[in-house]
A and B are shown apart, each in its own frame.
Chain A
């Protein structure tokens, strides 16, 4: 009997196994093939919080989720259609993420007594046998055994054979979703160029996985997901952290400045440090400081010297940087601060997601200390946001916080990457040298019409001057405790940040009409879920629109006006209600929050329900 071929619009697959099972690679390879097949897609890996959690246990499970389709895909998917469980722990950790009547592909060797005990099911309670999975379609395959069988004549050692079993799963899924094997074969040949027997073994197992689907009758269905209508062009896959790195390096190029990056490792921001440290030939200097305070301070020192000074961290580290960010505000030097947010407070849940540092970004310093805040909405948008953060910092002589998060940082999507010639130029003018013949005195805190002072760097004769964290007299920069002057300077620093609104794009509606009944406003990594939810609601006949904020301080000039065009404003956030407070405060509107604080992103269905609920309670 041939398997039935069913056409699907969207599919979500979750690969789950022990950290050593190679699920990240399996997921990435399936993703690459899927991209080449012309689907739109999003992915999200989930790593164990512990580095070397014991094999076979629930904390040791690593997973990778891929959502792909023939329509626009904006999220890594809610619950999955297919769960690959390489062992009992992987099933236990991920079963909650599987749709009702979803498919489980279970590696039966991973459900032996030992694995059942390690997963804390207990050896008597095999979920494959005791009926707990009756809501789902379970496909049992002894992947470990079949892999060993397939390689029994090869010279590979036990370990290498054991490691190849992920290729069997991959082959099987390629069969299930009608995907070709060539790009994976090519990858394996390249990766193991110097170890041809490993390449050969992996390819053999991959093919046998595919054939297993073809020849056995375990599977009754296979699926086709057609090409998505994607804009023409050349694409690459990119994570949020990678896109951030590219945005920073591009900004350094477009301003022709050296990039100095001071950082202290922290999840989920560390990859930015790792990636930048490889780019020395782009004029990128990285400094792994002794702590976050030194990291930001070193970046301030570099900025004082005329470099593009950048620092990165996550919430706890940003808290430590607060005093120094205040210093940069006072010095009026350009500084970019990356916060790849994670669930807090305190150490919180380092590997879980949250967007709860917005208030910290805006207000988390002593005194009146306004700075610019900007947030990307998708992994590839991290490129634009990082570039913009640098542009604003450099052109407006102000610290800028970029609020990314773990969901963006590790998520991938296809990206129609730009060419250098498409990028904006960033204008930087250093204060010129003085010969002594000038009639006026050099005034370090003299401003232009945008309230921006000039960047006066050491090494420039005739403009030797002192700056500091003490309040300074307008124009001269001399220390001043004059009451009127302090009020004036406080207002000037605020006016400078407010004036940035003239140099950023106006707020647009992303989906839906420009006016109407309900406007859903989001920021940051909720973009994909909100966009998908709102589009579905529009299709279902609802009068609803979506606008997504990238510029959080200052807000785009027209934001108030835009919101006035709607009866209701709803603000979904993965926090306890932060943007909603800002909007209510600034625009006196009865905006309503929709909040999720589980360490996980919004699901589309749940968000749709929340929007319905919020609107019906408002209307009643």
Chain B
């Protein structure tokens, strides 16, 4: 903002530098004991996020983690950055206020599937459509962990949980389709059990200018163990998961022997060996193609035995450059200041019309 305030004075006063460049992931771990259940997927995500921090080139003092409520939402306590553990579902709204007023900060939202897709679903979609330049990490474990095991809005139909002893009736959200529907500008998926890929996705999430939505499959070992096992297990992963790479054909399978071919708008699985299809005929991944991104987000079959269902995509489904909300707001403020000049309080207090009493 053109108008200088106490915040600018304060942050310009040689607030220097926490020397982040020389840091390693360890330097981002706070002095608090981590309290997740042993074996919880949150641990590996925490580690990868800590490792990502020295890489992103932002000074520690300028990094803020904001979370809602849930197991995942404890996350900010474990990061030695600025942080706020707020209230259930509202982190996107809090982050919007912070990022809009302090666009120079790197703001990260940590949220669970319940936090962002039930109680906070409104804020989640609004954040995406506005395209606030923040990074949202959605820890999806298909369960309410903190409240001890009720089904969540991402739990598949028929899920048996504490609150659905006979199986859940309601149809789940597909978070990536939802995000696309909300006109999100960066939509990606990763999993806790593939830290290298997760690390790559975290870097991409940060690099994107705009609201970056990274869904991370996270295993809740206590209440929903193995929910994503077919994707995370090294044996089944090649069959059930497909990793997306920009400009590369969609290939998966143990021997990289299977591909996806687009028949009009219908994706079909082909066997590279048997069906006589060459790699060049396959669907080539293009992050900027929204229609294809939508088709990819619909690869949402329940993993199951057999070969007739689509693998679940991991990687960046969609990335688009669109002006960010925080930039827009600040640019508009500057434009008005340039046009009208900095406001004169005495003139404002006088108003358009006055009279004297003598």
Contacts and interface: CB of A to CB of B under 8 A. Distances in A.
A250 B343 CA distance: 11
A461 B345 contact: no
Interface residues of B, number: 73
Interface in A418-448: 418-420, 428, 430, 432-433, 435
A570 B16 CA distance: 59
Nearest to B67: A468
Interface string A258-279: 1010100000000000000001
B308 interface: no
B122 A281 contact: no
B5 A258 contact: yes
Contacts of A285: 100-101, 329, 333
Contacts of B7: 257-258, 305-307, 430, 457, 459
Contacts of B98: 301-302, 304-305, 458
A604 interface: no
A260 B82 CA distance: 20
Contacts of A300: 86, 94, 97
Interface string A316-331: 0000000110110001
Given A300-B94, A465-B82, A255 B6 contact: yes
Contacts of B340: 281
A327 B122 contact: no
A226 to B, nearest CB: 14
A38 B358 CA distance: 9
Contacts of B3: 258, 281, 283
Interface string A236-263: 1110000000100110010111101010
Contact of B97 (A262, A280, A417): A262
Contact of B10 (A287, A323, A435, A457): A457
Interface stretch (B41-49, B262-270, B298-306, B348-356): B348-356
Interface in B239-258: none
A230 interface: yes
Interface in A134-181: none
Contact of B61 (A236, A303, A459): A459
A528 B159 CA distance: 63
B93 interface: yes
A470 B62 contact: no
Interface in B37-75: 59-64, 66, 69
A246 B348 contact: yes
A466 interface: yes
Given A32-B353, A459-B104, A479-B77, A301 B345 contact: no
B350 A461 contact: no
A249 B348 contact: yes
B32 interface: yes
B11 interface: yes
A237 B84 contact: no
Contact of A420 (B17, B95, B329, B349): B349
A297 B94 contact: yes
Contacts, number: 245
A6 B355 CA distance: 27
B57 to A, nearest CB: 16
A35 B355 contact: yes
A235 interface: yes
B191 to A, nearest CB: 27
B180 to A, nearest CB: 19
A457 B9 CA distance: 13
B18 interface: yes
A461 B94 contact: no
B276 interface: no
A460 B101 contact: no
Contacts of A460: 10-11, 15, 61
B66 A458 contact: no
Contact of A464 (B9, B32, B60): B60
A482 interface: no
B61 A287 contact: no
A462 B355 contact: no
Contacts of A35: 355
A235 B349 CA distance: 10
B34 interface: no
A614 to B, nearest CB: 37
Contact of A458 (B14, B69, B105, B350): B105
Interface in B307-358: 329, 332-333, 336-337, 340-343, 345-346, 348-351, 353-358
Interface in B71-128: 76-77, 79-87, 90, 92-102, 104-105, 122-123, 126
Contact of B350 (A236, A258, A428): A236
24 contacts: A234-B350, A235-B357, A237-B353, A256-B9, A258-B3, A280-B332, A282-B345, A283-B3, A291-B122, A294-B92, A294-B93, A294-B126, A297-B94, A301-B98, A305-B102, A305-B105, A420-B349, A462-B18, A462-B61, A466-B77, A468-B85, A468-B86, A469-B87, A479-B32
Closest 6 CB pairs of A and B: A301-B97, A468-B85, A298-B97, A297-B93, A282-B343, A294-B93
Interface of A: 32, 35-36, 38, 230-238, 246, 249-250, 253, 255-258, 260, 262, 279-283, 285, 287, 289-291, 293-295, 297-307, 309, 323-324, 326-327, 331, 417-420, 428, 430, 432-433, 435, 457-470, 478-479
